[in-house]
């Protein structure tokens, strides 16, 4: 069985997904890819934020069902400095936990 690697770049506004066969041989046409995001305002309700997490997780699950990967690799979270970065990291952590 040829391995199929799922790559995830988690983001609240643009999660990227790729599925790369182990024997892709440089043929970019054999790579499946998808991007999904969901923007909410800074004043979003808890229900709206949970809805965003659910939407992104559902799309990741659909992609996994479509591609049937044998291994998954997640990109490390991008961290911003300052007080705003702490909140951003917390929200990314929530997304990572849901996925």
User: Is residue 71 exposed (0-12), middle (13-18) or buried (19+ Cβ within 10 Å)?
Assistant: exposed
Contacts of 61 (CB under 8 A, 6+ apart): none
Q: How many domains does the chain have?
A: 1
* Structural domain that includes position 17: 4-98
Q: Are strands 4-9 and 15-21 parallel, antiparallel or unpaired?
A: antiparallel
* Nearest-angstrom CA–CA distance, 67 and 43: 36
CATH number at residue 72: 3.30.420.10
Each residue's pLDDT tens digit, 38-82: 888 989 999 999 999 999 999 999 999 999 999 999 987 655 545
* 37 vs 93, higher pLDDT: 37
* 1 vs 7, higher pLDDT: 7
């Amino acid at each position: 069985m040829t391995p199929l690697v799922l790559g995830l770049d988690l983001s609240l506004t643009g999660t990227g997904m790729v599925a790369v066969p182990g024997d892709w041989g440089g043929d970019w046409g054999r790579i499946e890819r998808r991007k999904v995001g969901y923007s909410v305002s800074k004043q979003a309700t808890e229900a709206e934020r949970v809805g965003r997490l659910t939407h992104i997780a559902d799309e990741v699950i659909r992609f996994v069902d479509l591609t049937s990967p044998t291994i998954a690799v997640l990109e490390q979270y991008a961290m911003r400095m300052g007080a705003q970065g702490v909140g951003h990291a917390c929200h990314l952590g929530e997304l990572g936990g849901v996925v």
